[in-house]
Structure 1
Amino acid sequence: MRFSILASGSTGNSLYIETDEHAFLVDAGMSGKKIEGLLGSINRSMKEIDAIFVTHEHSDHIKGIGVLARKYKTPIYANAKTWSAMDGLVGEIPLDQRFHFDMETVKTFGSLDIQSFAVSHDAADPMFYTFNEGDRKLAVITDTGYVSDRMKGHIAGADSFVFESNHDVSMLQMGRYPWSIKRRILSDVGHVSNEDAAVAMSEVVAQKETHIYLAHLSLDNNMKDLARMSVAQTLESCGIRAGEYVHLRDTDAAESTELVLV
């Protein structure tokens, strides 16, 4: 199992994952042309994509879904409430490309088991995914206001995490956003801060080589260096030294990460 985070941030999100048998996207939150270019940067093509799994209907996760579905006849998977919320936002998608992926269920594609699970975000019915092949596990969780024990149970012990580290609380509080938006981000249906992300990570990492990709960083209220430093310091306060067996990795809003094995 290999993956690349094509883009991660408030301007657009998409993740590529493949096995020897299949290739998928999680979300397509940029223009179709941009996603095609990002796939090209890792020597992959939309023609190879077997399906797109949708997490929720916010534009930074679905912007390119309609055009890609129509151009490449790609199957789209989402839960019922997310499909209803997407109607009118992604244009016409043929019925034979519309598939339901219910909350808290598993779908199997060859050697890959994909588990959906609920998160806490201000969308119709948001959910994220874990990907399991043999004894290897990739957990993807962004766009949640907090990380519940149930979420932790789903993602615990992954070999690689794509984990939300959205904002620095002080930067957000002092920043230019109106209070209504700050309140929404800080709420239980908003986004996880660097420190809260690290506390949650400390409770789900196993004592083995683990890679954590800090994802969905705010362009206005966070920085890569700050996120890495804050997460590392908080992990250390919880008894985990970053760089020993837990490795922190950057993501980018406009450039894909290297295609790597889980």
Structure 2
Amino acid sequence: MRLCSIASGSSGNCIYTGTDDTHLLIDAGVSAKKIEAGLKDLELEGHDIQGLLITHEHSDHIKGVGVLARRYGFPIYATQGTIDQMKGMSSLGAIDEGLYHTIRPDETFSIGDVEVEPFHISHDAADPVAYRFESNGKSAAVATDMGIYNDYIVEHLKGLDVVLLEANHDIQMLQVGPYPYPLKQRILGERGHLSNESAGQLLCRILHDNMKKIYLGHLSKENNYAQLAYETVKLEIQLDPVEYMPQDFDIQVAERDCISGICNF
């Protein structure tokens, strides 16, 4: 398998994962042009994509869906709640209803040689999910837009080879920053986003000897920056009373507007 981030941040998200035979996108929250450029760096084209998996209906995750759907006609997988919301959005333009495929959290399905397991997350959207992928004994997950994590989420993230995990904001930067108070409360709430500290604490619960790559993703443009997220997560691992140290793992911050290093595993 392989995974890489085409774009990851509060302004737009699109992640690629797949095998030699199966190619998938998670979200399309940037322009079709940017996604096509990212696929070109992977030596792929839009026609190679066999499925687009949507986490939820917020614009930074679906902005490019309409153009891609009309251009390539690949299947769009999402929960019924997410599909219903997307169908009501004029900004996406006309999308052939036959392209939509309803998925259910905790029900695994296959696309080519990849098994996909959606699972519930806590976010202020209709029916949001994160995704776990498995193929030939390898596994990866993309888990962002979570206000909190719990034992259920931890279980779905155990035993991974690669994870892309949200490290959205620095709490102090958010609290003193320019956002209006209600928005700050939303981000900090149980249906908001994971802070750098929370991301590090969640990581401590899923680290294991064979984890090959950790991407920190969905960083806020206004309330975080890459080095701060990286150092905060490393510190949480260092302070945790387990045998691991941050240097034991390959940790990378996913770039906001360009492709991040491809991980083959």
Relative to the length of structure 1, the TM-score reads 0.96
Shift of 1:132: 0.6
2:211 and 2:131 map into 1 onto residues whose CA distance is: 21
Aligned ranges 1:140-151 → 2 under 5 Å? 140-151=142-153
Conserved in 1, the CA contact under 8 Å of 2:121 and 2:146? Answer: yes
Once the two structures are superposed, what CA deviation does each residue of 1:9-40 show, in whole Å capped at 9, x if it has no partner? 01100011121221110000011122112222
Root mean square deviation, CA, Å: 1.1
Shift of 1:4: 1.3
Aligned residue for 1:260? Answer: 263
Shift of 1:205: 1.5
Shift of 1:147: 1.0
2:113 and 2:36 map into 1 onto residues whose CA distance is: 26
Shift of 1:97: 1.2
Name the CA shift for 1:130/1:99 in 2 (closer, same or farther; >3 Å): same
Aligned ranges 1:164-175 → 2 under 5 Å? 164-175=166-177
Which runs of 5 or more residues in structure 2 are unaligned?
A: none
Once the two structures are superposed, what CA deviation does each residue of 1:149-168 show, in whole Å capped at 9, x if it has no partner? 10110111211110000011
Once the two structures are superposed, what CA deviation does each residue of 1:66-105 show, in whole Å capped at 9, x if it has no partner? 1100111111111111000111322222132111111211
Conserved in 1, the CA contact under 8 Å of 2:18 and 2:114? Answer: no
Shift of 1:250: 1.5
Shift of 1:209: 3.7
Conserved in 1, the CA contact under 8 Å of 2:144 and 2:165? Answer: yes
Which runs of 5 or more residues in structure 1 are unaligned?
A: none
Identity %: 38
Query: May I ask how many residue pairs the two structures share in their alignment?
Result: 261
1:50 and 1:110 map into 2 onto residues whose CA distance is: 8
Aligned residue for 1:71? Answer: 71
SS of equivalent to 1:138: strand
Name the CA shift for 1:200/1:191 in 2 (closer, same or farther; >3 Å): same
SS of equivalent to 2:250: strand
Once the two structures are superposed, what CA deviation does each residue of 1:186-224 show, in whole Å capped at 9, x if it has no partner? 000000000111111101111224311000001111111
User: 4+ residue runs of structure 1 moved beyond 6 angstroms?
Assistant: none
Shift of 1:148: 1.2
Conserved in 2, the CA contact under 8 Å of 1:42 and 1:258? Answer: no
1:104 and 1:148 map into 2 onto residues whose CA distance is: 15
Aligned residue for 1:55? Answer: 55
Query: Is 1:105 matched with 2:107?
Result: yes
